[in-house]
Protein backbone atom coordinates (compact mmCIF):
# COMPACT_ATOMS: atom_id res chain seq x y z
CA UNK A 1 0.00 0.00 0.00
CA UNK A 2 2.71 2.46 1.03
CA UNK A 3 4.89 1.64 -1.96
CA UNK A 4 1.91 2.08 -4.24
CA UNK A 5 1.19 5.53 -2.83
CA UNK A 6 4.84 6.48 -3.12
CA UNK A 7 4.89 5.23 -6.70
CA UNK A 8 1.87 7.33 -7.57
CA UNK A 9 3.43 10.41 -5.95
CA UNK A 10 6.52 9.89 -8.13
CA UNK A 11 4.40 9.60 -11.23
CA UNK A 12 2.55 12.78 -10.29
CA UNK A 13 5.85 14.61 -9.95
CA UNK A 14 6.97 13.31 -13.31
CA UNK A 15 3.75 14.32 -15.05
CA UNK A 16 3.87 17.80 -13.44
CA UNK A 17 7.40 18.22 -14.74
CA UNK A 18 6.17 17.13 -18.16
CA UNK A 19 3.42 19.73 -18.06
CA UNK A 20 5.94 22.40 -16.95
CA UNK A 21 8.14 21.67 -19.95
CA UNK A 22 5.12 21.68 -22.22
CA UNK A 23 5.44 18.01 -23.11
CA UNK A 24 2.23 16.52 -24.41
CA UNK A 25 1.32 14.05 -27.11
CA UNK A 26 1.56 15.46 -30.63
CA UNK A 27 -1.96 16.03 -32.02
CA UNK A 28 -2.90 13.59 -34.78
CA UNK A 29 -3.40 16.58 -37.10
CA UNK A 30 0.36 17.28 -36.86
CA UNK A 31 1.13 13.65 -37.57
CA UNK A 32 -1.02 13.89 -40.72
CA UNK A 33 0.97 16.99 -41.76
CA UNK A 34 4.22 15.10 -41.22
CA UNK A 35 2.99 12.09 -43.20
CA UNK A 36 1.82 14.30 -46.06
CA UNK A 37 5.28 15.88 -46.17
CA UNK A 38 6.98 12.51 -46.13
CA UNK A 39 5.03 11.45 -49.22
CA UNK A 40 6.61 14.18 -51.33
CA UNK A 41 9.91 15.27 -49.75
CA UNK A 42 11.99 12.67 -51.61
CA UNK A 43 12.88 12.70 -55.26
CA UNK A 44 10.69 9.69 -56.06
CA UNK A 45 7.74 11.09 -54.12
CA UNK A 46 8.13 14.47 -55.79
CA UNK A 47 8.16 12.97 -59.28
CA UNK A 48 5.19 10.73 -58.53
CA UNK A 49 3.24 13.86 -57.60
CA UNK A 50 4.45 15.71 -60.68
CA UNK A 51 3.60 12.69 -62.84
CA UNK A 52 -0.07 12.95 -61.82
CA UNK A 53 -0.30 16.44 -63.29
CA UNK A 54 1.99 15.66 -66.24
CA UNK A 55 0.14 12.47 -67.21
CA UNK A 56 -3.18 14.32 -66.96
CA UNK A 57 -1.91 16.97 -69.37
CA UNK A 58 -0.48 14.35 -71.76
CA UNK A 59 -3.72 12.35 -71.66
CA UNK A 60 -5.75 15.52 -72.37
CA UNK A 61 -3.54 16.41 -75.32
CA UNK A 62 -3.79 12.85 -76.66
CA UNK A 63 -7.58 12.94 -76.41
CA UNK A 64 -7.73 16.23 -78.32
CA UNK A 65 -5.47 14.86 -81.04
CA UNK A 66 -6.82 11.32 -81.40
CA UNK A 67 -10.45 11.31 -80.28
CA UNK A 68 -13.05 11.71 -83.06
CA UNK A 69 -15.00 14.97 -82.95
CA UNK A 70 -18.19 13.23 -81.88
CA UNK A 71 -16.48 11.94 -78.76
CA UNK A 72 -14.88 15.19 -77.57
CA UNK A 73 -16.96 15.11 -74.39
CA UNK A 74 -15.98 15.56 -70.75
CA UNK A 75 -16.42 11.82 -70.23
CA UNK A 76 -13.70 11.05 -72.79
CA UNK A 77 -11.28 13.42 -71.10
CA UNK A 78 -12.13 12.12 -67.65
CA UNK A 79 -11.48 8.55 -68.80
CA UNK A 80 -8.21 9.45 -70.52
CA UNK A 81 -6.96 11.24 -67.41
CA UNK A 82 -8.43 8.70 -65.03
CA UNK A 83 -6.49 5.69 -66.35
CA UNK A 84 -2.99 6.89 -65.36
CA UNK A 85 -4.43 8.04 -62.02
CA UNK A 86 -5.64 4.53 -61.24
CA UNK A 87 -2.00 3.40 -61.53
CA UNK A 88 -0.16 6.27 -59.84
CA UNK A 89 -2.44 6.91 -56.84
CA UNK A 90 -2.26 3.34 -55.47
CA UNK A 91 1.54 3.42 -55.81
CA UNK A 92 1.62 6.64 -53.77
CA UNK A 93 -0.53 4.94 -51.12
CA UNK A 94 1.71 1.85 -51.11
CA UNK A 95 4.95 3.81 -50.76
CA UNK A 96 3.52 5.94 -47.95
CA UNK A 97 3.48 2.78 -45.84
CA UNK A 98 6.26 0.58 -47.20
CA UNK A 99 9.04 3.18 -47.37
CA UNK A 100 9.19 3.13 -43.56
CA UNK A 101 10.43 -0.46 -43.88
CA UNK A 102 12.18 -0.50 -47.24
CA UNK A 103 14.09 2.69 -46.37
CA UNK A 104 14.20 1.80 -42.64
CA UNK A 105 13.03 5.27 -41.59
CA UNK A 106 10.43 3.46 -39.46
CA UNK A 107 13.12 3.05 -36.83
CA UNK A 108 12.90 6.81 -36.14
CA UNK A 109 9.18 7.17 -36.88
CA UNK A 110 8.07 4.46 -34.46
CA UNK A 111 10.57 5.53 -31.81
CA UNK A 112 9.11 9.05 -31.84
CA UNK A 113 5.51 7.78 -32.01
CA UNK A 114 5.38 4.35 -30.33
CA UNK A 115 1.66 4.04 -31.07
CA UNK A 116 2.03 2.51 -34.51
CA UNK A 117 -1.72 2.48 -35.09
CA UNK A 118 -1.73 6.28 -34.89
CA UNK A 119 1.07 6.53 -37.44
CA UNK A 120 -0.77 4.22 -39.86
CA UNK A 121 -4.02 6.16 -39.34
CA UNK A 122 -2.19 9.43 -40.07
CA UNK A 123 -0.78 7.88 -43.25
CA UNK A 124 -4.27 6.74 -44.29
CA UNK A 125 -5.68 10.25 -43.82
CA UNK A 126 -2.74 11.75 -45.72
CA UNK A 127 -3.29 9.30 -48.60
CA UNK A 128 -7.00 10.16 -48.62
CA UNK A 129 -6.20 13.89 -48.86
CA UNK A 130 -3.76 13.27 -51.73
CA UNK A 131 -6.31 11.07 -53.52
CA UNK A 132 -9.11 13.62 -53.34
CA UNK A 133 -6.84 16.57 -54.21
CA UNK A 134 -5.40 14.70 -57.21
CA UNK A 135 -8.88 13.87 -58.47
CA UNK A 136 -9.94 17.51 -58.20
CA UNK A 137 -6.87 18.49 -60.21
CA UNK A 138 -7.70 15.79 -62.78
CA UNK A 139 -11.28 17.03 -63.15
CA UNK A 140 -10.03 20.59 -63.58
CA UNK A 141 -7.54 19.56 -66.27
CA UNK A 142 -10.26 17.47 -67.93
CA UNK A 143 -12.57 20.51 -67.96
CA UNK A 144 -9.86 22.63 -69.55
CA UNK A 145 -9.34 19.84 -72.12
CA UNK A 146 -13.05 19.72 -72.89
CA UNK A 147 -13.26 23.47 -73.44
CA UNK A 148 -10.02 23.59 -75.45
CA UNK A 149 -10.82 20.42 -77.45
CA UNK A 150 -14.29 21.53 -78.47
CA UNK A 151 -13.05 25.01 -79.32
CA UNK A 152 -10.34 23.54 -81.55
CA UNK A 153 -12.88 21.23 -83.22
CA UNK A 154 -15.40 24.05 -83.45
CA UNK A 155 -18.16 22.18 -81.58
CA UNK A 156 -20.03 22.89 -78.37
CA UNK A 157 -18.45 21.40 -75.22
CA UNK A 158 -20.34 18.36 -73.95
CA UNK A 159 -20.62 18.04 -70.14
CA UNK A 160 -21.76 14.47 -69.75
CA UNK A 161 -20.48 13.71 -66.24
CA UNK A 162 -22.82 14.77 -63.46
CA UNK A 163 -21.82 15.49 -59.91
CA UNK A 164 -22.90 12.02 -58.74
CA UNK A 165 -20.87 10.29 -61.44
CA UNK A 166 -17.84 12.41 -60.59
CA UNK A 167 -18.19 11.41 -56.95
CA UNK A 168 -18.33 7.75 -58.01
CA UNK A 169 -15.13 8.17 -60.02
CA UNK A 170 -13.39 9.70 -56.98
CA UNK A 171 -14.64 6.84 -54.83
CA UNK A 172 -13.41 4.30 -57.38
CA UNK A 173 -9.91 5.79 -57.22
CA UNK A 174 -10.00 5.83 -53.43
CA UNK A 175 -10.91 2.11 -53.51
CA UNK A 176 -7.78 1.46 -55.61
CA UNK A 177 -5.67 3.52 -53.21
CA UNK A 178 -7.14 1.69 -50.22
CA UNK A 179 -6.26 -1.67 -51.74
CA UNK A 180 -2.71 -0.45 -52.35
CA UNK A 181 -2.52 0.89 -48.80
CA UNK A 182 -3.76 -2.41 -47.33
CA UNK A 183 -1.22 -4.33 -49.43
CA UNK A 184 1.50 -2.02 -48.12
CA UNK A 185 0.44 -2.65 -44.53
CA UNK A 186 0.35 -6.42 -45.03
CA UNK A 187 3.59 -6.79 -47.03
CA UNK A 188 5.67 -3.85 -45.65
CA UNK A 189 7.96 -4.05 -48.68
CA UNK A 190 7.82 -1.61 -51.61
CA UNK A 191 8.57 -3.87 -54.61
CA UNK A 192 6.44 -6.74 -53.27
CA UNK A 193 3.45 -4.48 -52.61
CA UNK A 194 3.66 -2.78 -56.02
CA UNK A 195 3.94 -6.11 -57.84
CA UNK A 196 1.13 -7.42 -55.64
CA UNK A 197 -1.07 -4.52 -56.65
CA UNK A 198 -0.55 -5.17 -60.35
CA UNK A 199 -1.22 -8.86 -59.88
CA UNK A 200 -4.46 -8.06 -58.05
CA UNK A 201 -5.63 -5.49 -60.56
CA UNK A 202 -4.65 -7.18 -63.84
CA UNK A 203 -3.91 -10.89 -63.37
CA UNK A 204 -6.54 -11.64 -60.75
CA UNK A 205 -9.34 -9.78 -62.49
CA UNK A 206 -8.58 -11.67 -65.72
CA UNK A 207 -8.71 -14.99 -63.89
CA UNK A 208 -12.01 -14.12 -62.20
CA UNK A 209 -13.58 -13.04 -65.50
CA UNK A 210 -12.41 -16.27 -67.11
CA UNK A 211 -13.72 -18.27 -64.17
CA UNK A 212 -17.11 -16.57 -64.46
CA UNK A 213 -17.23 -17.55 -68.14
CA UNK A 214 -16.42 -21.23 -67.68
CA UNK A 215 -18.19 -21.91 -64.39
CA UNK A 216 -21.76 -20.78 -64.39
CA UNK A 217 -21.99 -21.09 -60.61
CA UNK A 218 -19.32 -18.40 -60.30
CA UNK A 219 -21.09 -15.91 -62.57
CA UNK A 220 -23.44 -14.83 -59.79
CA UNK A 221 -20.67 -14.79 -57.22
CA UNK A 222 -18.17 -12.70 -59.24
CA UNK A 223 -19.64 -9.24 -58.49
CA UNK A 224 -19.38 -10.01 -54.76
CA UNK A 225 -15.70 -11.00 -54.75
CA UNK A 226 -14.12 -9.23 -57.77
CA UNK A 227 -13.08 -5.74 -56.65
CA UNK A 228 -12.16 -4.77 -60.21
CA UNK A 229 -15.72 -5.45 -61.24
CA UNK A 230 -17.17 -3.15 -58.60
CA UNK A 231 -14.46 -0.52 -59.20
CA UNK A 232 -15.18 -0.38 -62.94
CA UNK A 233 -18.87 -0.05 -62.11
CA UNK A 234 -18.00 3.03 -60.05
CA UNK A 235 -15.90 4.51 -62.86
CA UNK A 236 -18.78 3.98 -65.29
CA UNK A 237 -21.31 5.43 -62.84
CA UNK A 238 -23.27 2.17 -62.87
CA UNK A 239 -23.39 1.63 -59.10
CA UNK A 240 -26.94 2.57 -58.13
CA UNK A 241 -29.09 -0.24 -56.73
CA UNK A 242 -28.83 -1.39 -53.14
CA UNK A 243 -27.47 -4.70 -54.38
CA UNK A 244 -24.70 -2.96 -56.34
CA UNK A 245 -23.68 -0.96 -53.29
CA UNK A 246 -23.77 -4.17 -51.24
CA UNK A 247 -21.48 -5.78 -53.80
CA UNK A 248 -19.07 -2.85 -53.47
CA UNK A 249 -19.25 -3.30 -49.70
CA UNK A 250 -18.54 -7.00 -50.03
CA UNK A 251 -15.48 -6.60 -52.28
CA UNK A 252 -14.20 -3.77 -50.04
CA UNK A 253 -14.61 -5.97 -46.98
CA UNK A 254 -12.67 -8.80 -48.63
CA UNK A 255 -9.88 -6.78 -50.23
CA UNK A 256 -9.58 -3.72 -47.95
CA UNK A 257 -11.08 -4.13 -44.48
CA UNK A 258 -9.97 -7.67 -43.65
CA UNK A 259 -6.38 -7.29 -44.95
CA UNK A 260 -6.11 -3.93 -43.20
CA UNK A 261 -7.31 -5.25 -39.85
CA UNK A 262 -5.05 -8.31 -40.01
CA UNK A 263 -2.14 -6.25 -41.38
CA UNK A 264 -2.34 -3.54 -38.72
CA UNK A 265 -2.56 -6.15 -35.96
CA UNK A 266 0.58 -7.83 -37.32
CA UNK A 267 2.34 -4.54 -37.88
CA UNK A 268 1.75 -3.38 -34.32
CA UNK A 269 3.37 -6.50 -32.91
CA UNK A 270 6.15 -6.81 -35.48
CA UNK A 271 9.75 -6.04 -34.83
CA UNK A 272 10.93 -2.79 -36.47
CA UNK A 273 14.42 -3.37 -37.81
Partner 1 sequence: MIRVDHLTKSYRGVTAVDDVSFCARAGRVTGFLGPNGAGKSTTMRIMVGLSTATAGHVDVLGSRYVDLPNPGREIGVLLDASAQHAGRTGREILELAARTMGLPVSRVPETLRRVSLTEKEADRRVRTYSLGMRQRLGIATALIGDPGVLVLDEPANGLDPAGIRWMRDVLREFADQGGTVLLSSHLLHEIEVIADDLVVIGNGRVVAQGAKHDLLSTSGTVVASSDNARLAATLARAGVKATPEGAGSLTTSADPGEVGRIALTAGIALTELRRADSAGLEEMFLLLTAQSQRESHSRHAGEAA
Residues that bind partner 1 (CB under 8 A): 10-11, 14, 18, 21, 23-27, 30-31, 33-34, 37-38, 41-45, 99, 103-115, 269, 271-272
3-state secondary structure of 102: helix
Q: Which is nearer to partner 1, 103 or 243 (CB)?
A: 103
Which residues have CB under 8 Å from 229's CB, separation 6+?
205, 208, 222, 223, 247, 251
112 versus 266: smaller Cβ distance to partner 1: 112
Select 42 or 86, whichever has its Cβ closest to partner 1.
42
CB of 153 to partner 1, least distance (A): 44
Tell me whether residue 13 or residue 243 sits nearer to partner 1 (CB atom).
13
* Beta carbon of residue 25, minimum distance to partner 1 (angstroms, whole number): 4
Rounded Cα distance between 123 and 129, Å, is 10
Of 45 and 237, CB closest to partner 1: 45
Dihedrals φ, ψ of 207, to 5°? -65, -45
Smallest distance, partner 1 to C-beta of residue 155, A = 46
Q: How far is the CB of 27 from partner 1 (least distance, A)?
A: 7
- With contact defined as beta carbons under 8 Å apart, do 239 and 168 qualify? yes
| DSSP code per residue over 145-198 | HHHHHHHHHTS--B----HHHHHHHHHHHHHHHHHHHHHHHHH--HHHHHHHHH
- Considering the complex, state which of residue 129 and residue 254 has its C-beta at the smaller distance from partner 1: 129
What letter would DSSP give residue 63?
H
Is 264 within 8 Å of 216 (Cβ atoms)? no
The C-alpha atoms of residue 238 and residue 149 are separated, in whole angstroms, by 26
CB of 258 to partner 1, least distance (A): 25
Distances from the Cα of 112 to the Cα of 31, 106, 118, 157, angstroms: 11, 10, 12, 53
In angstroms, what is the minimal distance from the CB of 184 to partner 1? 15
C-alpha pair distances (Å), 185 with each of 2, 78, 89, 93: 46, 30, 16, 10
- Name the residue nearer to partner 1 (CB basis): 101 or 139: 101
Among 141, 136, 185, 187, residue whose Cα is nearest residue 163: 136
In whole angstroms, the minimum distance from the beta carbon of 273 to partner 1 comes to 8
| Nearer residue to partner 1 within complex by CB, 26 or 219 | 26
Rounded least distance, CB 169 to partner 1, Å: 32
Q: How many CB atoms lie within 10 A of CB 200?
A: 18
Amino acid sequence: MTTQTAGRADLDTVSTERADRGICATPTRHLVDVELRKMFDTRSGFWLLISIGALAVVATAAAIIFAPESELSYDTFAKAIGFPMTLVLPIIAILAVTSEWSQRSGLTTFTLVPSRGRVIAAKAVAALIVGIASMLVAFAIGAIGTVAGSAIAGVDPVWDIGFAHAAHIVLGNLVGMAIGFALGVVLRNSPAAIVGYFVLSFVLSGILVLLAQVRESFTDLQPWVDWNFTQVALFDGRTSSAQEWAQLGSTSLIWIVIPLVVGVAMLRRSEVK
